[in-house]
Chains A and B, each alone.
Chain A
Amino acid sequence: MSMKRARGDRVFWLLAFFSSLSVIVMFTLLFYELLSNSVPIWKDGMSFITGMVWDPLKGLFGAFPFIYGTLLTATFAILLSTFLGVGIAIFLSEIAPSSLRVIISSIIELIAAIPSVIIGLWGIFVLAPFVRDNLQPLLQHLSFIPLFSGKTLSGLSMLTAILVLTFMVTPIVAAIAREALLMVPEDLKEALYSLGATRYEVVRHVCIPYARQGIFGGVILGYGRALGETMAVTMVIGNTPSISASILNPGYTMAAVIANEFTEATGDVYLSALIGIALLLLLISLAVNLVGRMIVWKWQQEG
């Protein structure tokens, strides 16, 4: 009887152990597959990453336009999202009447769950025309700045992609920043209020410093999300592999070129170039996550 029971525990442990091992196996396999299937493109070493021209018909595979498009759109989007997300979090934790707080934050959480392909659909038929007819004429007054010097006829541009990403990422940043702000001890705030501080001063000198670690965690998470976002961006960015200083011009991202060209890729080099881009995208996303984790960890060490 007791042997049988011990065997039960043994089997249970083995099952759990091998399931967890599968996490390690899958992780190794993921890198192995992406690396071994992109071997042809790494033959020229770094020239794949720095290559400025992507022209599969001529056999030219330079990944730089996609790296540029990915970093540019994600970085602009996370800057906007941080600004807006922190504002929303402050509203929800410090300013809104308590009856509104729960409702609004539930709605925001809910909206963050809308599939990105639906946001892309809206991007094509609503946002792109709006950018073309309203935003673009407005920004053309600033066309002496290289950032706003271009123009699209369709409204499909890096600006449209940045906006779509901002709408998708801000709820994430806001939700996490709000949680961080709610962790600020009430007595710290009360102490400052009792000295006659205004709400601005409490937020500026107590809430933000206290919650910066959590807020930063949310920003990094959002940045990772923006870098890897595929569908909504693919649908609105215009898919043109050029390197333009102007966000009013169309662009291309790493995720978008994989989504668009993978099934059409003829020839081993073409396919291996796309798999190489997938590997780069994975490495960039993981690096962002890792750096964020390390900074948060360092702050925790400092107390």
Chain B
Amino acid sequence: MEMAARRLKDNALTIYSILSLVVIAIPLLHIIATTLINGAQSLTPEFFTSLPKPPGEEGGGVANAIQGTAILVALTMLISVPAALLTAIYLSEFPESRLRDLIRLLNDTFMGTPSIVAGVFAYTLLVTKFGFSALAGAFALSVLAVPMMVKTMEEALKLVPTDIREAGLSLGIRHWRVVTSIVLRTAMPAIASGVLLTVARISGETAPLLFTAFGNPNFATGILEPVSALPLMIYVYAISPYPDWHRKAWGASLVLMIAVLTINLITKYKLRRR
């Protein structure tokens, strides 16, 4: 009797854990499958190379959004990789500093910033003065990207054995040379994987771009102009009343999803297994 009750509980645990997986796996796999099926139908050469048609007209593509996402991601990385790397170096390579704990705490806190708030911040700081621009969008994305990268980069640097640093210093090599040529080189695969995962993460961000990059039906010719972006376009098209735009939203989603998942896979299998 006692034994039967114990076995029943044991089976209940197995059923609960398998059901949990199934309940979550079905919708998530459905999202991927729907995006694949609906998206594949709109992927024509024109989709990648032409600009959108005016609302309600069929045809056209999302070339401006692809260009915009490329500009935004590049700009964001230009701003945030140097800032994050230097901050991570400060946190891990200058242990005598007193500000470290405060900076680490603020950085961790920053990681909880909702993405829409980053957009509001960029709006009040930049857009009110210079108007909607790719730069304001990249700033908003950097507010999200820097804390993530500081965290992964600091962890990457800390994994480098102290012996290596001491060996370098004992040979009379200067501190900055030890860090740049020995520590950074050793930590490079882990740093690169952190950067790539951040690229994947921010290239799908929509909320910070709504009132910073704003969107642009044409190609952007400078970073002080508004630009479109794939996630921005998916959102606008999804809530529009036009079936053709809905199809385009699925197409853009497929492109974005493939890009994001590919970056994640590369990071997982090429960079981590070293």
A binds B: yes
Asked if B207 and A259 make an inter-chain contact with CB atoms under 8 angstroms apart, the answer reads yes
A104-143 contacts to B (CB < 8 Å): 104, 106, 109-111, 113-122, 124-127
Asked if B175 and A29 make an inter-chain contact with CB atoms under 8 angstroms apart, the answer reads no
Asked whether any CB of chain B lies closer than 8 Å to the CB of A298, the reply is no
Asked if A167 and B27 make an inter-chain contact with CB atoms under 8 angstroms apart, the answer reads yes
Asked if B235 and A235 make an inter-chain contact with CB atoms under 8 angstroms apart, the answer reads yes
A258-288 contacts to B (CB < 8 Å): 258-259, 262-263, 274-275, 278, 281-282, 285-286, 288
Asked if B176 and A106 make an inter-chain contact with CB atoms under 8 angstroms apart, the answer reads no
Asked if A230 and B114 make an inter-chain contact with CB atoms under 8 angstroms apart, the answer reads yes
Stretch at the interface among A45-53, A88-96, A243-251: A88-96
Task: With A122-B34, A199-B10 as known contacts, state yes or no: A113 contacts B261, CB within 8 Å.
Answer: yes
Asked whether any CB of chain A lies closer than 8 Å to the CB of B78, the reply is no
Task: With A111-B32, A113-B200 as known contacts, state yes or no: A228 contacts B117, CB within 8 Å.
Answer: yes
Asked whether any CB of chain B lies closer than 8 Å to the CB of A33, the reply is yes
Asked whether any CB of chain B lies closer than 8 Å to the CB of A154, the reply is no
Task: With A26-B143, A199-B13, A275-B124 as known contacts, state yes or no: A115 contacts B205, CB within 8 Å.
Answer: yes
Task: With A33-B125, A115-B231, A259-B116 as known contacts, state yes or no: A200 contacts B250, CB within 8 Å.
Answer: no
Stretch at the interface among A7-15, A57-65, A144-152, A184-192: A7-15
- A131–B226 Cα gap in the complex (Å)? 37
Asked if A19 and B87 make an inter-chain contact with CB atoms under 8 angstroms apart, the answer reads yes
Q: Please name all residues of chain A whose beta carbon is closer than 8 Å to the beta carbon of B204 when the two chains form the complex.
A: 113-118
Asked whether any CB of chain A lies closer than 8 Å to the CB of B264, the reply is yes
- Category for how many chain A residues contact B: 35 or more
Asked if A200 and B174 make an inter-chain contact with CB atoms under 8 angstroms apart, the answer reads no
Task: With A19-B87, A27-B109, A228-B114 as known contacts, state yes or no: A263 contacts B17, CB within 8 Å.
Answer: no
- A184–B158 Cα gap in the complex (Å)? 24
- A212–B180 Cα gap in the complex (Å)? 40
- Kindly provide the distance from the CB of B185 to the nearest chain A CB, expressed in whole angstroms: 16
- Kindly provide the distance from the CB of A112 to the nearest chain B CB, expressed in whole angstroms: 9
Asked if B114 and A121 make an inter-chain contact with CB atoms under 8 angstroms apart, the answer reads no
A193-211 contacts to B (CB < 8 Å): 198-201, 203
Of A95, A117, A167, the residue contacting B235 (CB under 8 A) is A117
> Which of B19, B34, B82, B114 has the largest count of A CB atoms less than 10 A from its CB?
B114
- A198–B260 Cα gap in the complex (Å)? 42
Task: With A29-B125, A230-B116 as known contacts, state yes or no: A121 contacts B99, CB within 8 Å.
Answer: no
Asked whether any CB of chain B lies closer than 8 Å to the CB of A289, the reply is yes
* Smallest CB gap from A260: residue in B: B210
Asked whether any CB of chain A lies closer than 8 Å to the CB of B77, the reply is no
Q: Please name all residues of chain A whose beta carbon is closer than 8 Å to the beta carbon of B82 when the two chains form the complex.
A: 19
Of B17, B250, B264, the residue contacting A95 (CB under 8 A) is B17
Q: Please name all residues of chain B whose beta carbon is closer than 8 Å to the beta carbon of A16 when the two chains form the complex.
A: 86-87, 89-90, 93-94
Asked whether any CB of chain B lies closer than 8 Å to the CB of A219, the reply is no
Asked if B90 and A19 make an inter-chain contact with CB atoms under 8 angstroms apart, the answer reads yes
Asked if A118 and B31 make an inter-chain contact with CB atoms under 8 angstroms apart, the answer reads yes
Asked whether any CB of chain B lies closer than 8 Å to the CB of A87, the reply is yes
Q: Please name all residues of chain B whose beta carbon is closer than 8 Å to the beta carbon of A23 when the two chains form the complex.
A: 87, 103, 106-107, 110, 146-147, 150
Asked whether any CB of chain A lies closer than 8 Å to the CB of B102, the reply is yes
Task: With A118-B31, A121-B238, A288-B112 as known contacts, state yes or no: A12 contacts B176, CB within 8 Å.
Answer: yes
Asked if B103 and A20 make an inter-chain contact with CB atoms under 8 angstroms apart, the answer reads yes
- A203–B116 Cα gap in the complex (Å)? 39
* Secondary structure dominating the interface of B: helix
- Category for how many chain B residues contact A: 35 or more
* Secondary structure dominating the interface of A: helix
Q: Please name all residues of chain B whose beta carbon is closer than 8 Å to the beta carbon of A199 when the two chains form the complex.
A: 10, 13-14
- A13–B96 Cα gap in the complex (Å)? 12
- Kindly provide the distance from the CB of B66 to the nearest chain A CB, expressed in whole angstroms: 15
A18-32 toward B: CB 8 Å interface, digit per residue (1/0)? 111111101101100
Asked whether any CB of chain A lies closer than 8 Å to the CB of B1, the reply is no
B79-92 toward A: CB 8 Å interface, digit per residue (1/0)? 00011001101110
Q: Please name all residues of chain B whose beta carbon is closer than 8 Å to the beta carbon of A86 when the two chains form the complex.
A: 20
> Which of A23, A278, A289 has the largest count of B CB atoms less than 10 A from its CB?
A23
Asked if B124 and A33 make an inter-chain contact with CB atoms under 8 angstroms apart, the answer reads yes
Of B23, B111, B239, the residue contacting A235 (CB under 8 A) is B239
Task: With A19-B83, A259-B210 as known contacts, state yes or no: A83 contacts B20, CB within 8 Å.
Answer: yes
Q: Please name all residues of chain A whose beta carbon is closer than 8 Å to the beta carbon of B273 when the two chains form the complex.
A: none
Asked if B124 and A281 make an inter-chain contact with CB atoms under 8 angstroms apart, the answer reads no
- Kindly provide the distance from the CB of A292 to the nearest chain B CB, expressed in whole angstroms: 9
- A14–B70 Cα gap in the complex (Å)? 32
Of B12, B143, B177, B249, the residue contacting A200 (CB under 8 A) is B12
Asked if B120 and A258 make an inter-chain contact with CB atoms under 8 angstroms apart, the answer reads yes
Task: With A126-B34, A199-B13 as known contacts, state yes or no: A117 contacts B231, CB within 8 Å.
Answer: yes
- With A20-B91, A87-B21, A117-B204 given, can you name 14 additional A-B contacts, CB distance below 8 Å? A19-B83, A23-B106, A26-B110, A30-B143, A84-B24, A87-B20, A88-B24, A95-B14, A117-B238, A118-B35, A255-B114, A262-B123, A278-B117, A289-B112
Give 8 CB contacts A-B under 8 Å. A20-B90, A26-B143, A115-B204, A117-B253, A118-B204, A201-B6, A262-B120, A289-B108
Closest 7 CB pairs of A and B: A115-B204, A228-B114, A87-B20, A19-B86, A12-B176, A91-B17, A16-B90
